[in-house]
Amino acid sequence: MKLSLLKRPVLAALLGATLALPALADVDAAAQALLPEANKSSGKLLVVTSLAYPPMEYTDAGSEELKGFDIDIAREIAARLGLEPEFVNVEFPQLIPQVVTGRSEMIISAFSDKVERQAQLDFIDYFNTGNVFYTTADHKDEIKTEKDLCGKTIAVATGTSWVTWAEEVGKANCPADNLYNVIQIPTQAEHIMQIKQGRAQASVIGIEGLADLEINEPGAFYQIGAAGEPNPYGIAFEKSNTALRDAALAALNGMLADGTYIEIVKRYHLDVGAVDKFVINGATQ
């Protein structure tokens, strides 16, 4: 959502830019001109995220420095729009309320573009993902396929689309009296702890998250079955805030054109999900 992560409060204090960040681009005047007056006046971009999902957004233990692919993308968008990003960390189910009530302006948090979410939000799709079940290497003899998860407990991030997906896969693979026991727990670190303590036998993660686990802990985890439900992650805005959406899209297109987007992709070893075009509300399910 790395074992090195700490769970943060539901509404943490504002988390700003910190030391040793990559250099940011100059202001894109054409993109900046698209901004709504509110942002031009404030000089800020209010960004909401839900930490604890490396390599997308996370902090290291004992540090409040925000890191991750999404964080770097948000900082770069803000820089090109001439704005100062202000990050707020919330629990995942609070992402939508945070934006639709106007407390924040932009969601970036490995947040799937879903048709049902498009009723309240507009998305700029910027990364392609897919869902996978995974567990620790000591389960390899016991759990080899999705059918082997029947009757077992799956720890899934609270309020995410992974919850429904896991339940549906269980119904497709298991008898009605032996379905997956899907439990909702906020962070990836907690999911892994549940597995190691024997309270759960597997979890769900995006392909990018499993790739990050493999980079950081080679051989410690493995994928169960094939990736499912390919879908885009989207940067989300309240439905009526089309001016900010369009300004962010223009900034992103500039990042794609000059190679900055791919540079950030490679910084986090995320070639697996890189896009070659940014699309508004591209999800069809």
- For residue range 82-108, what is the model confidence (pLDDT) as tens digits? 999 999 999 999 999 999 999 999 999
Q: Which residue has the higher pLDDT, 173 or 20?
A: 173
Long-range CB pairs of 135-143, under 8 A, 24+ apart, other chains included? 135/195, 135/201, 135/202, 135/203, 135/221, 135/222, 135/224, 136/192, 136/195, 136/196, 136/220, 136/221, 137/219, 137/220, 137/221, 137/222, 139/201, 139/202, 140/222, 143/201, 143/202, 143/224
Report how far residue 8's alpha carbon sits from residue 10's, in angstroms, rounded to the nearest whole number.
7
- What is the mean pLDDT of the segment spanning 36-40? 98
Q: What is the pLDDT of residue 21?
A: 58
Q: Output the pLDDT for position 52.
A: 87
pLDDT class for 215, splitting at 50, 70, 90?
very high
* Helix, coil or strand: residue 138: helix
Looking at per-residue pLDDT, the higher value among 280 and 24 belongs to 280
- Is the pLDDT at 23 greater than 90? The verdict is no
Of 75, 77, 97, nearest in space to 16 by CA:
75
pTM of the predicted model as reported, rounded to 2 decimal places: 0.86
Q: Is a pLDDT exceeding 70 seen at residue 117?
A: yes
Amino acid identity of residue 100, one-letter, is V
In this structure, of 14-18, 27-31, 154-158, the range with the lowest mean pLDDT score is 14-18
Averaged over 35-45, what is the pLDDT?
A: 98
Average pLDDT over residues 139-146: 97
The answer to whether the CB of 170 falls within 8 A of the CB of 149 is yes
Nearest C-alpha neighbor of 234 from the set 152, 133, 127: 127
Q: Where are the strands (E) in 81-220, listed by range?
A: 84-89, 106-107, 121-136, 153-157, 181-185, 202-206
Selection from 108, 116, 122, 121 nearest residue 48 by Cα: 108
Average pLDDT score, the chain: 92
Instruction: Dump pLDDT digits (tens) for 58-77.
Output: 999 889 999 999 999 999 99
In this predicted structure, which of 7-16, 31-40, 211-220, 251-260 has the lowest mean pLDDT?
Answer: 7-16
Is the model's pLDDT at 18 over the cut of 80?
Answer: no
Answer yes or no: are the C-beta atoms of 248 and 81 closer than 8 Å.
yes
pLDDT digits (tens, 9 = 90+) for 220-268: 999 999 999 999 999 999 999 999 999 999 999 999 999 999 999 999 9
Averaged pLDDT for residues 26-50: 98
Structure confidence at residue 12 as a pLDDT band (50, 70, 90): very low
Residue 80 phi/psi, 5-degree rounding, is -70, -20
Q: At 179, is the pLDDT very low, low, confident or very high (cuts 50, 70, 90)? A: very high
